[in-house]
Amino acid sequence: MTIRKSTEERRREIADAAIKIIGERGLREFTAAHIAQEVGIKDATIFHHFKDMNEIILTVFDRLQEVLEAAQRSNGDPLERLERFVLSRLHAVTIQRGIQSLLFSDQITHALGTEGPRRVAALRNRGRDFVRSCLREAAEKGLLREDIDIEGAVILVTGTAMGFLFAAKDGVLPASADEMERRCWQTLRSALVRRQVLS
């Protein structure tokens, strides 16, 4: 009955299972036994592929970072980049949504000692940096309203992304995801950009 797979394949399966469990069932079920069950292998096998549980978490972080970077690697008009950033938070398919919610799970990270919290904070900061640079560029290009305070706007934008994610998680989006994406971004956009630009 034993199915043998290459290490790479197994590592991916295990990391996926870990993400799924943390996302859906919470940290308390992030255990070797649960992950193994999800993958369909035995606990001991996990440690054949990962040194220890921390290595799994670290791998999950790497994955999170990839996902986030993809959303931030877009190019083009700064406002379009912002748009893509905000929408990526909602657009994400299940596993991506799960992984993104890790951004606000400072809890996981504590298993790693102080390094964990630092790493999630760093990831959040990369988001802020990205937003800040988009906004700066937009401001320089005269796209934003003059009275906009960049730092305040950074919080506004990143926060809106968070608000999105949690509203979706809580299942309280008052319309279809697509529809809400549009309305929400519209609100955010019209809040920041020059009137005439909107036309």
* Binding stretches for DNA (CB under 7 A): 1-7, 10, 29-34, 41-49, 51-54, 111
Q: Indicate the residue among 5 and 73 with the shorter CB distance to DNA.
A: 5
Q: DSSP characters for 16-40?
A: HHHHHHHHHH-GGG-SHHHHHHHHT
Q: Indicate the residue among 56 and 154 with the shorter CB distance to DNA.
A: 56
Among 9, 106, 140, 178, binds its own copies (CB under 8 A): 106
CB of 98 to DNA, least distance (A): 18
Query: Which of the stretches 12-20, 45-53, 69-77, 185-193 binds its own copies when contact is defined by CB under 8 A?
Result: 185-193
Residue 100, exposed/middle/buried by CB under 10 A (0-12, 13-18, 19+)?
A: buried
Among 41, 85, 109, 138, binds its own copies (CB under 8 A): 109
User: Which residues fall within 8 angstroms of residue 132, CB to CB, at 6 or more apart?
Assistant: 150, 151, 154
**Cα–chain-centroid distance for residue 112?**
19
